[in-house]
Amino acid sequence: MTRIRDYEYFKNQYEKIKPIRGRPDCRPIHDRRHTHKTIIAKKLLSGETSYALKFHNTECVEYFPNGDIVVRTGGWVTPLTADFIYTYSPFKCWKQYNKVWVNFVDESSNHERGVSYPVNGELTLQYEGEYQNGQHVHGVMYKPVGDVAITKRVVDRAKAKAARAVVEPFLNFAKLFLAMSDGWVMHSTVKEHVEIINGQINWGYFSSPDLYEQMQTKEDRYIFMMAYLLRTDEPIKKNIAETHEEKMQWGMHRIHMYDKQFKFETLKRRVYTVVEGANDIYTTKEVIASGKAMTNVV
């Protein structure tokens, strides 16, 4: 179904909707019981009128006579705000990565699926198509007015380097260990360093700060920590080392223990994840939105 969303459409809507009795400025846009979703008319300095769709106290979508549209969140970065903008604008809209994003056609772009920009409180979209008598004539094409800046959370290289430096002894040990074993972590070796209960390894739980501290202070725990970090990763290869049977309500259950082969890079990634979880190694950086939804935005 075609979504007709332009100035003339909402001008007609405003004129058709009767205000709530006793509330001359309250014109519910859809269900008259939903007085938190209204349409208002605003006089512009030019003497013309714009029409805004309000969600509670925020004018989330405003239509101008020249075809431009302004979308706003009012600071409410929520799925409900995004859904309201989607419903009452010609744009796709959703919440992702801590931002409300809109997707629209930009005539200067080659993106077949349109371009996406964040609504940093307010986003003005200039109409680039042909517009006559308050209606779109040839397509619906928009372009943001000016550059759209967005703040991203990025790794501070100096902080990351300093935080990783103190775990280098552990990484050097692990690299040598895996090189000598051709990447194999044998179950018989792991058993010497972990608790076994009913034939199963009792890993326990360790937070990133716990592991980060142990990597620096407990050399006798290096093999355990190496096995602990790799416990949930899919190995290159694995061979059954031991099999135990445990009696369950439905019968006997076989539990296999494996010798596993890993790449050192797999462990290194795990270690760096621990470092990031135990330290503040991030800073913020303002960048220009590229037309695609971005991760790590604040």
Same domain (yes/no): 191, 90: no
Residue 194 lies in a domain: yes
Residue 2 lies in a domain: no
Same domain (yes/no): 119, 167: no
Number of domains in the chain: 2
pLDDT grade for 138, boundaries at 50, 70 and 90: low
pLDDT grade for 114, boundaries at 50, 70 and 90: confident
Same domain (yes/no): 17, 115: yes
Same domain (yes/no): 272, 173: yes
pLDDT grade for 140, boundaries at 50, 70 and 90: low
Same domain (yes/no): 48, 114: yes
Residue 19 lies in a domain: yes
pLDDT grade for 69, boundaries at 50, 70 and 90: very high
Same domain (yes/no): 188, 211: yes
Residue 92 sits in which domain range? 7-147
Residue 295 lies in a domain: no
Residue 123 lies in a domain: yes
Same domain (yes/no): 136, 172: no
Same domain (yes/no): 129, 100: yes
Same domain (yes/no): 123, 191: no
More confident residue, 161 or 4: 161
Same domain (yes/no): 18, 58: yes
Q: Which of 282, 284, 187 is nearest to 241 (CA)?
A: 187
Predicted TM-score (pTM) of the model is: 0.71
Full 3-state SS string of the chain: CCCCCCHHHHHHHHHHCCCECCECCCCECCCCCCCCEEEEEEECCCCCEEEEEEECCEEEEEECCCCCEEEECCCCCCHHHHHHHHHCCCCEEEEECCEEEEEECCCCCCCCCCEEEECCCEEEEEECCCEECCEECCCCCEEECCCCEEEEEEECHHHHHHHHHCCHHHHHHHHHHHHHCCCEECHHHHHCCCEEECCEEECCCCCHHHHHHHHHHCHHHHHHHHHHHHCCCCCCEEEEEEEEEEEECCEEEEEEEEEEECCHHHHHHHHHHHHHHHCCCEEEEEEECCCCCCCCEC
Same domain (yes/no): 251, 181: yes
Residue 293 lies in a domain: no
User: How does pLDDT run across 196-236, given as a tens digit for each residue?
Assistant: 777 678 888 999 999 999 999 999 999 999 999 999 999 99
* Amino acid type, 92: K
Q: Residues of 55-92 as b/e, b for ≥16 C-beta within 10 angstroms?
A: beebbbbbbbbebbbbbbbbebbeeebbebbbbbbbbb
Same domain (yes/no): 131, 225: no
